[in-house]
Amino acid sequence: MTRIRLDLRYDGTGYLGWQKQPKAPMTIQNALEEALFSLIGIKPSTVGSGRTDAGAHARQQVVHFDFDGPTNKYPWVNAINSKLPQQIQLFEAYEAPLEFHSLLSAEKKEYVYFIHNAELPPVFRRDFCWWQRRPLDVAWLNTASKFFVGEHDFKSFQNTGTLVPSTIRTVFLANWTQISPQTLKFRIIGNGFLKQMVRNIVGTLVELSFQKREPIEILKVLQAQDRGAAGQTAPAQGLFLNRVSYPQKLDNKCRKL
Amino acid sequence: MTRIRLDLRYDGTGYLGWQKQPKAPMTIQNALEEALFSLIGIKPSTVGSGRTDAGAHARQQVVHFDFDGPTNKYPWVNAINSKLPQQIQLFEAYEAPLEFHSLLSAEKKEYVYFIHNAELPPVFRRDFCWWQRRPLDVAWLNTASKFFVGEHDFKSFQNTGTLVPSTIRTVFLANWTQISPQTLKFRIIGNGFLKQMVRNIVGTLVELSFQKREPIEILKVLQAQDRGAAGQTAPAQGLFLNRVSYPQKLDNKCRKL
């Protein structure tokens, strides 16, 4: 048995997110498993590094599955891509050690979120950003975002109704950059993220900044440990799972196919 | 009677180009005239600065039409945008002098063309670039593009079967920039362009560069004055009409609505 690791990117527009759903075939995982099935003749159980929401995108999603056949039979990347829709693309395939687990071995995850901040809505990137007409204050957003860095209970930023053993996560970096006159980019790196946590963080930051609140008030929202204390959920289409990192030792044991 | 000037941008994906066609309603001009009709109650005859091909885009297309009503009745930009599909956006409206003509007064036009130059096809910008797998040589492309600058007969780069009084045009600038590790941008400014001229120039440059020909051979193609001497037509989806310029004096007489 061989563990295969696949690194992929996707345009999630029109898809119902990463996670396989029996009654909703339009998910990324369903499309990937269909493509694998038409290549290797069995439908493997793939495991992703985490879910992405309906309409959200990935510049690196990492997936693993176990496979019994010979690994040198296919040029994996090209063979799988030829079976995938153009919205989903495999850019690397590895033979991974059996201890590699796309979700459990992940050490860090990076998300980016794009805001189109202009008088008029975006025409060319409609599916890849959130439109905010009122001018945003990047300095304010950066000051407020610093309060997320460190180990915190992010319960206030988790969707209600979700049950997880712990809502404590560590954020290593959270910052905003003006990448063009009309585009802001939010970048956040953590050891893991709760359901809709990034979208809730972005939505809350935008809301508090428009209310001209003090940046430190984001700390009160964190400390409340209550979803009701935070703001709106920013829409999914601005969100990209940007990078998933594994311990160097484990990465070194992944051999390109 | 008032002459109205409209500046618009559009994502031409799924549209059959700028030009109105009686039997093909999916053109930009049809959509614009429908929007104007639902606002002002009559369908005006709009004149664009030039055609754009099916699937090509515009970051600035300039249009004029004549109007008999009062110009202060509507907040033009917002009113027209509210009637337009999200692929088409008005970003400026002017009351223009009667001597202003979007096509005949145009002094310069700028087009840009994007190539995704990478092993794998584009996932997020599928509709906005041309995919070239083989590495392109930007220095070669720039050297060859210099031969287009100046006044030339561009007959070799005009689609066959087109009848225009003259195929002589002046190109002021033609250059290539690597704007990201995977993206090349071609920029060309001229006093006017023949049908598919930019796409034929891009296609020919790419073809000759892959054939490792000398850059000066582009001059032979120009001098042949024969479409058969040039190369393939690059696909429309990489092309943007980027800017249309008018004499400063005329621009100054356009009053924002």
Residue of chain A minimizing CA distance to B86: A123
Residue B79, classed as helix, strand or coil, is helix
Query: How confident is the model over B152-160, as a mean pLDDT?
Result: 92
Closest approach of chain A CAs to the CA of B84, in angstroms? 12
Query: What band does B216 get if pLDDT is binned at 50, 70 and 90?
Result: very high
Helix A197-210 vs helix A138-145: crossing angle, to nearest 10: 130
Q: Which residues pair with A131 in a beta bridge?
A: A116
Closest CA to B148 of B179, B186, B184: B186
pLDDT digits (tens, 9 = 90+) for B84-96: 999 999 999 999 9
The architecture that CATH gives domain B2-105 is: 2-Layer Sandwich (3.30)
Q: Which pLDDT band, with edges at 50, 70 and 90, does B218 fall under? A: very high
Least confident of A76-80, A113-117, B161-165: B161-165
Question: In the numeric block, which tokens belong to residue B242?
Answer: 């980027």
- d(CA B123, nearest CA chain A) in Å: 6
pLDDT at A78: 95
Whether pLDDT at B163 is above 80? no
Whether this prediction's pTM lies above 0.80 is answered by: yes
A222-236 tens-digit pLDDT: 999 999 999 999 999
CB A121 to CB B88 under 8 A? no
Give me the mean pLDDT over the A178-190 stretch: 97
B164 falls in which pLDDT band (50, 70, 90)?
Answer: confident
E strand residue ranges, B46-124: 47-48, 57-67, 88-96, 108-117
Asked if the model's pLDDT at residue A161 lies above 80, the reply is no
pLDDT in tens, B93-149: 999 999 999 999 999 999 999 999 999 999 999 999 999 999 999 999 999 999 999
Please say if the pLDDT value at position A160 is more than 90: no
Instruction: Kindly report, residue by residue over A243-254, the tens digit of the pLDDT.
Output: 999 999 999 999
Assess whether B153 carries a catalytic annotation: no
ipTM field = 0.93
Q: Is the pLDDT of residue B150 over 80?
A: yes
B108-243 has the same fold as B2-105? yes
Q: Given B11, B53, B68, B251, which residue is catalytic?
A: B53
Is the distance from CB of B39 to CB of B67 less than 8 angstroms?
no
Q: How far is A219 from chain B, CA to nearest CA, in Å?
A: 36
Please state, in angstroms and rounded to a whole number, the distance separating the CA atoms of residues B67 and B71.
8
Q: Which residues of B touch A91 (CB under 8 A)?
A: 120
Instruction: Find, in chain A, the residue whose alpha carbon is nearest to that of B78.
Output: A120
Q: Do A52 and A58 form a contact (C-beta atoms < 8 A)? A: yes
User: Per CB distance under 8 Å, which residues of B are interface residues toward A?
Assistant: 9-11, 57, 77, 81, 86-89, 91, 120-121, 123-124, 126, 128
Pick B91's closest partner by Cβ from A9, A120, A124: A120
Domain B108-243, what fold?
Answer: Alpha-Beta Plaits (3.30.70)
Q: Please, which residues have CB within 8 angstroms of residue A169's CB and are 6 or more apart in sequence?
A: A151, A152, A154, A190, A191, A192, A193, A194, A197
Give the model's confidence band at A133: pLDDT under 50 very low, under 70 low, under 90 confident, else very high. Answer: very high
Taking the CA of residue B70 and the nearest CA in chain A, the distance in Å comes to 25
Q: Which of B77, B81, B86 sits opposite A126 (nearest CB)?
A: B86
Domains of chain A, by residue range, sit at 2-105, 108-243
The reported pLDDT for the residue numbered B69 is: 83
pLDDT value at residue B93: 96
Judge whether residue A197 has pLDDT over 90: yes
Identify the three-state secondary structure at position B197: helix
If you count residue pairs, one on A and one on B, with CB atoms under 8 Å apart, how many are there? 38
Choose the closest CB to A91 out of B10, B86, B120.
Answer: B120
Question: What Å distances lie between residue A129 and A112, A136, B182, CA to CA?
Answer: 10, 14, 21
Rg (CA), chain A: 19
Nearest CA in chain B to A11: B124
